[in-house]
């Protein structure tokens, strides 16, 4: 099956620093999604990317859909304590038809020291 | 809108017991999904449904059953609970027409089998 490698597994940073995490795939995806999961809650969608090369921002978050369609990155600028959580990337093989299944990375645990 | 609602939030079962995890969504989404999340891992798809009356197996379906009698509800059934089914279970839903829309998740059911 499709594999997603997400890195780093964990990060410990100081408040105000910028953060970068990425996902790479062994095969092509047509959609990349980035989710955040807070303790005791379900994943919440941060950014959705539908086109190779697309660069999308959501406040202090910026994500890009790699040109090769096999990778994506998420940047968080000027981190704050509430950025703490687990960040997941997810890829979707087809943008239409019946193949809507998501493949998830294993997550990046972010800790922000105030 | 409540979004995706899962009940119960927590449950402890004995080996061999059965139970149903409930999931309902009020967004009129046609697609619904069940995932399990184990420590340090991403989400694995158990079962999914593309509409009322239609269900299909995901990546890890063994030991589970589902039904989809209405658009809103997608219960997950464990018939003979086993310790390997100790996990956090997430239900998700999405709307599909001409382009896949991102999945929205519930807050999860934490299940322990002892």
* DSSP of chain A: ---EEEE-SEEEEETT--EEEEEEESS--SEEEEEEE-TTS--EEEEEE-STT-EEEETTEEEEE-TTSSEEEEEE-S--GGG-EEEEEEEES-SSTT---EEE---EEEEEE-
Question: Which residues of chain B neighbour A48 with C-beta distances below 8 Å?
Answer: 102
Q: Which of B103, B106, B109 is the best substitution to test chain A (most A C-beta atoms within 10 A)?
A: B103
Residue B98: the pLDDT is: 58
Residue B40: the pLDDT is: 78
A–B interface: beta-carbon pairs under 8 A: 58
Q: For the sheet with B64-66, list strands across it.
A: B4-7, B19-25, B76-78, B64-66
Mean pLDDT of chain B: 92
Mean pLDDT of chain A: 91
pLDDT in tens, A29-70: 989 999 999 988 999 999 999 999 999 999 999 999 999 999
Token couple for A41: 């809650």
Residues of chain B with pLDDT under 50: none
Q: Do A107 and B42 touch (CB under 8 A)?
A: yes
B105 touches chain A (CB under 8 A): yes
Residue A94: the pLDDT is: 66
Q: Residues of B numbered 34-93 whose beta carbons fall under 8 angstroms of chain A's beta carbons: which are they?
A: 40-45, 48, 50, 58-59, 90, 92
């Amino acid at each position: 099956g499709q594999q997603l490698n997400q890195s780093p597994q964990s990060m410990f940073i100081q408040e105000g620093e910028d953060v970068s995490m990425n996902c790479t795939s062994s095969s092509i995806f047509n959609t990349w999604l980035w989710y955040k999961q807070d303790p005791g809650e379900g994943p919440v969608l941060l950014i959705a990317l539908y086109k190779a090369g697309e660069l999308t921002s959501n406040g202090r978050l910026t994500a890009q859909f790699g040109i090769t369609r096999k990778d994506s990155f998420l940047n968080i600028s000027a981190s704050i304590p509430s950025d703490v959580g687990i960040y997941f990337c997810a890829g979707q093989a087809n943008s239409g038809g019946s193949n809507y299944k998501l493949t998830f990375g294993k997550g990046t645990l972010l800790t922000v020291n105030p | 809108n409540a979004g995706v609602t899962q009940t119960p939030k927590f449950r402890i079962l004995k080996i061999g017991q059965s139970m149903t995890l409930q999931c309902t969504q009020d967004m009129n989404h046609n697609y619904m999904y069940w995932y399990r999340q184990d420590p340090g891992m991403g989400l694995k798809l158990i079962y999914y449904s593309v509409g009322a009356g239609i269900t299909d197996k995901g990546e890890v379906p063994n030991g589970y059953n589902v039904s989809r009698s209405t658009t809103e509800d997608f219960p997950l059934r464990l018939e003979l609970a086993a310790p390997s089914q100790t996990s956090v279970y997430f239900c998700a839903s999405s709307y599909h027409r001409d382009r896949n829309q991102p999945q929205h998740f519930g807050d999860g059911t934490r299940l322990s089998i002892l």
